[in-house]
């Protein structure tokens, strides 16, 4: 959940990239790190786990300021995809303000995608997040590979879902900014209700997205 420090007038947000092992969560964050403004990001830090890794970095260590002077900071994390690290996944997911679910577009990964998404929903409940209200974007990654589900097939399976759907190839950066921007819009709408960002701080949705991406 967002952390507001009235003394420093700072709002810190936690965003998590979730998904099955090897779906491209780490690659998404590495490409995003490359794409955002160079003076608005911290170093990438990695916590190695057996056969997998969880990665995080402070996207905006200095943050951006709303017209009111409010400082907005983001912390971005990935979770390990391996089932053996489910405890770590819950810990990383805890208090998240928004989630990108990174699915693997390969045809032979549909079961893994479904199981991981179910795991996300279950873990959200376990750490006290309201999954129905959680800002969420679904990204189908690895569009550069052969033997992938077509966009029409993906859309047919997810057409009844309420979440934004983005197609990407994180390896070359396509769809990475678009995914993050889609999540920022979802997060802004939730935060604006609680913190009245536009009314009290002069920060509208476009300013929020632009401030984060630089």
- Per-domain boundaries in the chain: 3-213
What's the whole-number mean pLDDT along residues 60-74?
A: 81
Higher pLDDT, 63 or 114: 114
How far apart (Å, rounded) are the C-alpha atoms in residues 26 and 35?
A: 14
Neighbours of 44 (CB within 10 A): 15
pLDDT at 80: 78
CA distance 81 to 69: 38
Q: What's the pLDDT score for residue 44?
A: 78
In whole angstroms, what is the distance from residue 99 CA to residue 178 CA? Answer: 14
pTM of the model: 0.92
The tally of CA atoms less than 13 A away on the side-chain side of residue 45 is: 10
- The per-residue pLDDT for 121 is 97
Q: Does residue 60 carry a pLDDT above 70?
A: no
Integer Cα distance of 55 and 49 in angstroms: 10
pLDDT band of residue 85 (cuts 50, 70, 90) is: confident
Q: Which fold has domain 3-213?
A: Rossmann fold (3.40.50)
CA–CA separation, 15 and 182 (whole Å)? 12
- Name the β-bridge partners of 99: 16, 136
pLDDT higher than threshold 50 for residue 53: yes
Return the bridge partners of 101, or none.
18, 138
CA atoms within 13 A on the CB side of 104: 22
Interatomic CA distance for residues 20 and 149, integer angstroms: 16
């Amino acid at each position: 959940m967002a952390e507001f420090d009235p003394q420093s007038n700072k709002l810190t947000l936690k965003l998590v990239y979730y998904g099955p092992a090897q779906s491209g969560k780490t690659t998404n964050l590495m490409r995003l790190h490359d794409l955002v403004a160079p003076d608005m990001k911290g170093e990438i830090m990695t916590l190695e786990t057996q056969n997998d890794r969880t990665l995080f970095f402070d996207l905006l260590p200095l943050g951006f300021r709303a017209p009111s002077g409010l400082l907005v900071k983001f912390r971005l994390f990935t979770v390990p995809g391996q089932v053996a690290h489910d405890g770590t996944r819950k810990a990383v997911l805890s208090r998240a303000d928004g989630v990108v679910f990174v699915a693997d577009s390969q045809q032979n990964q549909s079961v893994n995608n479904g199981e991981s998404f179910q795991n996300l929903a279950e873990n959200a409940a376990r750490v006290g997040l309201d999954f129905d209200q959680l800002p969420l974007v679904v990204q189908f990654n690895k569009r550069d590979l052969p033997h992938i589900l077509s966009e029409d097939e993906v859309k047919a399976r997810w057409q009844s879902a309420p979440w934004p759907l983005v197609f990407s190839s994180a390896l070359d950066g396509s769809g990475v900014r678009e995914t993050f921007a889609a999540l920022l819009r979802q997060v802004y709408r939730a935060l604006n209700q609680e913190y009245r960002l536009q009314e009290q701080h002069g920060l509208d949705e476009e300013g929020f997205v632009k401030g984060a991406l630089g």
